[in-house]
Structure 1
Amino acid sequence: MAWWCWARAAGPRAHRLTVLLEPRRGFRRARPRTEEPPPAAAAEPPAAEARPAPPRRSLCPPPPARAGRPPARRLVRPLLFAVGFTGTAFGAAAIWQYEALKARVQTYFEGARADWLDRIRPQKRGDFRKQVNSWWNNLTEGQRTVTGIIAANVFVFCLWRLPGMRRIMFTYFTSDPSSRALCSPMLLSTFSHFSLFHMAANMYVLWSFSSSIVSLLGCEQFIAVYLSAGVVSTFVSYVAKMATGKFEPSLGASGAIMTVLAAVCTKMPEAKLAIIFLPMFTFTAGSALKAIIAFDTAGLALGWRFFDHAAHLGGALFGMWYVTYGHELIWKNREPLVKAWHEMRTKNTGKGGGRSN
C-alpha cells in the first residue's frame, strides 16, 4: 500500500507508475486497453478443437491446418492406386522396351550412315550444340536416364518459389492422408522438394547410383521401379501416419531413392562405399544398408519427425523385395503382354497397308 500512496503523491508521473505497479501488486483491476484485437484472434477455434501444431521440419514447408482425424477407410483408395499404378508402370515399361528394341533394329543402318557422314563432314569448332552432344555422349546410360528425373525435380522445386503456386503445391505435391487429394500426391510428391539441400542430397545419391541400378535393371525397368517405389513408399507413410495419428505433409524423392540404394546394396553387398565429406572412410554396401534400416526403424519407433522414416523404410523394403523376388515375379512374366502388344501392332500395320494399297 505504501508504494501506491507514494506514486499518487509523485506529481505528473504518478499515473504512469500506478498503472505499472497495480497489476503486479493486485490492488485494483488494470485499465482495459482501447486497441481492437486483431482479426485473427476473433477467428480462432475453441480451445477444445485446437490441436497443437507439430514442430516445423526444415525440409518441409509449414503444414496447413487440418481438421480432425480421418477415418481408416481413406487408405482404401491409396492402396488401389498403388497396386494399379505399379501394374501400369511395369506394363508400360515392357511395351516401351519392345518399341525401343524394334526401333533400334530398324535404325541401325541409318545410324551407321549418319556416323559416316559426321566423319566426312567438316566439324564446327566452338559450336555449343556440339559441346552439349559431346557431354551427353560421354555420360553412362544410367546418368542419361536419371537426367530427366533430376530436371523434373528442379522444375518442381522452382514452382515452390512462386507464391501463387503455394496452394496447388500443398494440395498435389505434398502427401498427407488427411489432405483433400490422396492419390495424385503419392506420385507427384516424389518429384517435390521444398529445401534446396534436401533436393541436392537426393539428386546426388540418385546420380551416384544411376549407373549401377540401370546396368542391373535396364533403363525401362528402372523407370518402372523408381516410379512404383515412390508410390509404394508414400502409401507406407500413409499407413504409419494413420496408425500414429501424426499428420503432417511429406515430400521428396527419398523413398524412391531408398529403393534404388537398397536394390544396389542387396545385389552387390561387398561393394565399397564412402561418404562424400569423409572419403577416407569406406564401408561395404551391405553394412550401409543395415545401418540405414536400423536408423529409420529407430526413428519410426521413437517418433522422430525430421525425416519421413516410414517412407524410407517402405522404399528400402520394396527395393530389397524387388531384386530378390519381384524381378522374377513381375518382369520375367511380361512375355504374354509383349506378345499381345506385338500381335496388335502387326494387325494394325497390316490393316494400314491394305488401306494404302
Structure 2
Amino acid sequence: MAWGCCSRVWARQELWGCGSRARRFILYTYTQQRSGFRRPAQKSDPHRTSLETGTKPRKSGLSPIVEDPVFHTSSHSAKRLVKPFIFTIGFSGCAFGSAAIWQYEHVKGRVQNYFEGARADWMDRMQPQKEMNFRRQINLWWNSLSNGQQAVSGIIAANIFVFCLWRVPALQRTMIKYFTSNPSSRVLCSPMVLSVFSHFSFLHLAANMYVLWSFSTSIVSLLGREQFMALYFSAGVVSTFTSYIFKIATGRFGPSLGASGALMTVLAAVCTKMPEAKLAIIFLPMFTFTAGNALKAIIALDSAGLLLGWRFFDHAAHLGGALFGMWYVTYGYQLIWNNREPVVKAWHALRTRSPKK
C-alpha cells in the first residue's frame, strides 16, 4: 500500500532500560500509501478497461493493469463493513493472544535450555572450527543483528516472496483478488491481511522494507519482539479497515496494496514515545526537526489529502495506521498487553494439565 517520499533521519534517543547513554541511528521514512492501478493501453480489449482511481496512465510499472471491478449493488451499504469489522476485532485479538503465548513459551524455553545451551557452547569451543564454514558465517551474521532486525527478517522475506508472485503472469488474477484490498470486491477479509505483504513495484517494496528495517530496533526495544509482531499484524488490518470505511462512505472504490498502514503505526508509536528525537531530511541535513513535529506534519498531509480528495495515495489507511500507533503506545498496551495474564494462565493450565488415567 505504500508509495511516496524518502527522507533520512538522525536521532539521538534513550531507550527504556538502556541508562543515560544515548544512541545515534539513521532512519528512512517512506510513508505514503499506494492506492490505485495504472490504465492499460487504449488499443487493448474494450472489455478490459482501467480501474479508475483518479490517476493518469503510467508507464513506470509501479502497479499492475487490472480489469474494471464489479461493483455490487450493496457496495455503498454500510452492511459490507460488518464482516471486516468482526474480522478486525477477531484477528487483532488472536494476534495479541498468540503473542502472549509466544512470549510465555519463549521465556520457558530459555529457562529450560539454559544449561543445554551452555554445554553446547563449551563443546563448540572444544571442536576444531573450519575457516570457511558457510553455516558458521551465517550464524555469526544472524547473531550480529539486533533483536528488532531479527524480528522483521521474516516479514521482509514474506514481502519479497509475494513480490515474486506478482511476476508470474498466471497468478495475476489471484494476486489481484486476494493481495489487494477493496471494499467492492467479493473477498473482503483475507485481503486485509495479505495486502499488507503485497508490493508490485520493486521501488515500492525496497523503500517500505528499508523503513521497517530502520525502525525495527527502536520499536522492538520499546515493545519487545512478541508485542511488536502482534501490533504490526493488527495495524495492517486496522489501517485497511479504516480505508474500507472511507471508500464506502465516499464511493471512491479502488484496490490498495502495501505495508504503509502498518509502517505508519510503527512510525507513530516511535515518534510518540520519543517526540524529542532529532530528525533531518536526507538532502537537507542542516535542517533538523523533532520526531513529534514530523509526526504532526505527516498527519496533516494525510488529512489534507483526505479532505481534498487526493486519490493517488490511500490517505485513510495512513491516518488509520498513525492513529492506531499513537493510541496503542499511549493507552492501548495498558488495555490489551497488560491484561494478557488470563490468556497466559489458560495456556499454562492447558500445557501442564496431567493426562487422565
The two structures have a TM-score, normalised by structure 2, of: 0.82
Q: Which residue of 2 aligns with 1:242?
A: 248
Instruction: Please tell me whether the aligned partners of residues 54 and 248 of structure 1 are also in contact (alpha carbons under 8 angstroms).
Output: no
**Whole-angstrom CA distance in 1 between matches of 2:123 and 2:53:** 66
Determine which of 143, 146, 152 is the counterpart of 1:140. Answer: 146
311, 316, 323: which one aligns with 1:305:
311
2:119 aligned with 1:113, yes or no? yes
Residue 67 of structure 1: CA displacement? 3.2
Aligned to 2:34: none
Call closer, same or farther: CA 1:44–1:113 in 2, change over 3 Å: closer
The separation in 2 between residues aligned to 1:288 and 1:264, in whole angstroms, is: 11
Match of 1:171 in 2: 177
Equivalent position of 1:155 in the other structure: 161
Q: Shift of the alpha carbon at 1:170?
A: 0.2
**Residue aligned with 2:289, SS:** strand
After superposition, the Cα gap between the structure-2 partners of 1:165 and 1:131, relative to the gap in structure 1 and judged at 3 Å, is same
Which residue number corresponds to residue 324 of structure 2? 318
> SS at 1:273's partner residue?
strand
Question: Equivalent residue of 2:122, what SS?
Answer: helix
Alignment of 1:202-221 (within 5 A): 202-221=208-227
Per-residue deviation, residues 136-183 of structure 1 (Å, max 9, x unmatched): 110000000000000000000010011001000000000000111100
Change (3 A) 1:275 1:114: farther
246, 264, 269: which one aligns with 2:270: 264
Offset from partner CA, 1:218-247 (integer Å, 9 cap, x none): 111100000000000000001111111111
1:256·1:315 contact (CA, 8 Å) conserved in 2? yes
Structure 1 window deviating more from structure 2 (333-342 vs 142-151): it is 333-342
User: 2:188 aligned to 182, 189, 203, which one?
Assistant: 182
Name 1:287's counterpart in structure 2.
293
In the alignment, which of 198, 204, 207 is matched to residue 198 of structure 1?
Answer: 204
Q: 2:4 — aligned with what?
A: none
**Conserved? CA contact 1:60–1:251, under 8 Å:** no
CA contact (8 A) 2:48 2:67 kept: no
The equivalent of 1:68 in structure 2 is 71
Which moved further from structure 2: 168-177 or 302-311?
302-311
- Structure 2's unaligned 5+ residue stretches are 1-42
Q: Do the aligned partners of residues 277 and 115 (structure 1) sit closer, same or farther apart at CA in structure 2, a change above 3 Å counting? A: farther
The answer to whether the 8 A contact 2:52-2:254 is kept is no
C-alpha separation between the residues in 2 aligned to 1:274 and 1:127? Answer: 41
What's the secondary structure of 2:279's corresponding residue? strand
Match of residue 91 from structure 1: 97
- Compute the TM-score of the two structures, normalised by the length of structure 1: 0.82
Gaps of 5+ in 1: 1-37
Give the fraction of aligned pairs with identical amino acids, expressed as a percent. 69
In proportion to residue count, which structure has more helix?
1
Following superposition, the deviation at residue 284 of structure 1 comes to: 1.3
Q: In the alignment, is the contact (CA less than 8 A) between 1:174 and 1:192 conserved in 2?
A: yes
Alignment partner, residue 3 of structure 2: none
Q: Please say if 1:122 is aligned against 2:128.
A: yes
Counterpart secondary structure, 1:283:
strand
> Which residue of structure 2 aligns with residue 223 of structure 1?
229
Query: What whole-Å deviation, never above 9, does each CA across 1:68-114 have from its counterpart, x for those lacking one?
Result: 36132111100110011011111111111101110010001111111
Mapped partners of 1:39, 1:202: distance in 2: 32
- C-alpha separation between the residues in 1 aligned to 2:160 and 2:53? 29
Asked if the contact 2:71/2:185 (under 8 Å) is kept, the reply is: no
Cα distance between partner residues in 2 of 1:76 and 1:114: 53
Report the alpha carbon displacement of residue 334 of structure 1 after superposing the two structures with TM.
0.6
Seen in structure 2, the aligned counterparts of structure 1 residues 39 and 295 have a Cα distance that, compared at 3 Å, is: closer
Q: 2: distance between equivalents of 1:277 and 1:117?
A: 51
> Using a 3 Å threshold, how does the CA distance of structure 1 residues 77 and 124 change in structure 2: closer, same or farther?
same
AA of the residue aligned to 2:199: H
Q: Kindly tell me: are residues 135 and 222 of structure 1, through their superposed partners in 2, closer, same or farther at Cα, counting changes over 3 Å?
A: same
Q: Which amino acid aligns with 2:212?
A: L
For residues 44 and 320 of structure 1, the distance between their equivalents in structure 2, rounded to whole angstroms, comes to 42
Hey, what's the Cα distance between the residues in 2 that align with 1:128 and 1:233?
41
Residues 47-68 of structure 1: CA distance to partner in whole angstroms, max 9, x if unpaired? xxx9967425764323421233
Is contact 1:236-1:311 (8 Å) kept? yes
Q: How far apart are residue 325 of structure 1 and its match?
A: 0.6
Q: CA deviation at 1:44?
A: 8.9
1:278 positional shift = 4.3
**Is the 1:273–1:283 contact (alpha carbons within 8 Å) kept by the matching residues of 2?**
yes
Q: Is the contact made by 1:60 and 1:250 (CA closer than 8 Å) also made in structure 2?
A: no
For the Cα contact (< 8 Å) 2:218–2:270, is it kept in 1?
A: yes
Following superposition, the deviation at residue 279 of structure 1 comes to: 4.2
